[in-house]
Structure 1
């Protein structure tokens, strides 16, 4: 209760500070990273161009606009495609006999709080019906064509909770589809092209991965803030109300049963008997000690005798 009364549990904004994206392809022979970028802009929702409506169905009307951000990433990867030809050849061959191709998309987001969960990850494997044909992937890797399309790659809307969990919003038309393009010049690199024109307009022409993220507010730093972030309000309730309350209850329960023994007018005679028991034991008079001991027991067993022996002089 002292923490509640002395602390300030008001939540404060906790925006996304950094974002990165990665697209991987996986078969039985292993995994390759196709597209990676760390070049992502973080735009506050309330400062966007009002002429571009990225939320026509009003999904975000119930959220505080200061907690909503638009993340726009560069279409071109920030890393080169440096896979040796022999590795590409083996990977292409694995697509012939492995029917379980998997493509996964990953967002990595960084925030200032909560402590220990500053970096969160959202990873999703594309559904099998939305994957490109394996023959298309093979042709891109061997240079016959330069792109293939993936449908419903990841959720456009999702929120990052105060405890550090990433949860896509359960909405209709909430997925982004894209073309993965390999660029071949002196060097090779991959590009991610969002095929939704409204996403491109909202990001100022950037055609890379985009997302609308609700980053929930979190308690401020400090003892109370860290405790709330780690254990939530329910954890504090269980700890301080139930556990501490139960301890206090145990200490204060059955007080009336202790009144005859703890609230006595004068205990001088009882103390004298206890001192005589100690003296008899010290002198080796065990018979006298036993008589005095049972005398003390009889006094405590009889409320009438206890009252007589503890009367004030």
Structure 2
């Protein structure tokens, strides 16, 4: 397992993250086994959000582990807030952020979060309110570091202009079959759909600003349009290449799909969302596979992208 000290922190983090979005489908015993398997694979980073299972995922996580100080010290725990799920709107008000963190800490049975992310950009954000909330959370020791999810460069700049804390993380969707973070830069100025700038050069911005990117849905295509792994009907060429490279490196296609992301020099973390131990272990195998430059590009092209 590859570990990287996240810029601006003292956190030595695995580049594979166990995502907990779906663990409410498991029993407490199954959650305990899944987390222990993650730790055995070298994963020390666990991702949550207050809307996952309407908060139930956080509660089940701590209950399953019988969370105590010794166990907590072995983990980097991150959660997200800012979405009113039932009402269908986003909220970065000071009141909502502070109330959300209190709920997160209570459900996780911990005194602090290592990282708090603002989940999706709120067009009605008042950066000064966010700053006040972050200052209170930092001063009280309830949150150590802060970041965002699904934000473009100017949205980050707007927030950062009022903050005394550096935003250290931006969690974005990225997979071989979902590559807007990369596409327009490769096909710049061409009359192709791929050349449309859909992300405002977020990847390059985050690299320049030492903001760690975290890739969510690493096996999905589109906005939850299905997993591309093993889908020979929609992605025959991609799966053919994944299978061949899996055989070469003696791992699963899952690991190659993860390695395509971890191979990138931006030190991107990969957020898995599986509830199956074997899939988690297979994904973890992709932490340090040294894909060559030709192999990385071959996978990118096999997913249907052009390299002019």
State the TM-score, normalizing by the size of structure 2. 0.20
> Which has the larger strand fraction?
1
